[in-house]
Amino acid sequence: MKHIQPFHLAIPVDDLEAARTFYRDTLELQEGRSDDHWVDFDFFGHQLVIHYKEKDSSAKKSTNPVDGKAVPIPHFGVVLTWEDFHSFSEKLQQKNISFEIEPYIRFKGKPGEQATMFFYDPCGNALEFKAFKDQQQLFAK
């Protein structure tokens, strides 16, 4: 497939207003339609929907080791351009985001070299944003 259509992702949040504020004000996403239990956002051209769901106290955070770091599982995010990644990460640092994995270059000098960062939303959803200097490295082996 050559033409990429926007994806749709719906995630649970246990505090709709805290999550709404985070995605709208901290990440500066454009808010779309909403109801009492959900809010749509333009997530870099994709549709992200936060849905209210009571907190699951049995859910525990898990990770997988990648490039010497404990990567949160599950997580979601987008691949940005190299320039957008760096300006976005600087903006987040100015807003004092608490990073789970600070912005850095992963797989340096190897296939798939990329800039990446991880952080959590206020409801415990892990996000990853990444970028490749060479977009051809996106699926490199």
pLDDT for the residue numbered 59:
72
What's the distance, CA 45 to chain centroid?
A: 13
Give the domains, in start order, of the chain with CATH numbers.
8-52 (3.10.180.10), 63-139 (3.10.180.10)
Predicted TM-score of the model (pTM): 0.92
Please state, as a whole number, how many other Cβ atoms lie within 10 Å of the Cβ of residue 78.
Answer: 18
Helix, coil or strand: residue 124: coil
Where does 70-138 have alpha helices with state H? 82-94
Sequence-ordered strand ranges (E) for 2-98: 8-13, 30-34, 38-43, 46-52, 62-66, 69-73, 76-80
Q: CA 38, CA 32: separation in Å to the nearest integer?
A: 10
pLDDT for the residue numbered 4:
80
Per-residue pLDDT of the chain (141 residues; tens, 9 = 90+): 567 889 999 999 999 999 999 999 999 999 999 999 999 999 999 999 999 999 877 778 899 999 999 999 999 999 999 999 999 999 999 999 999 999 999 999 998 999 999 999 999 999 999 999 988 888 888
pLDDT for the residue numbered 55:
84
pLDDT for the residue numbered 7:
94
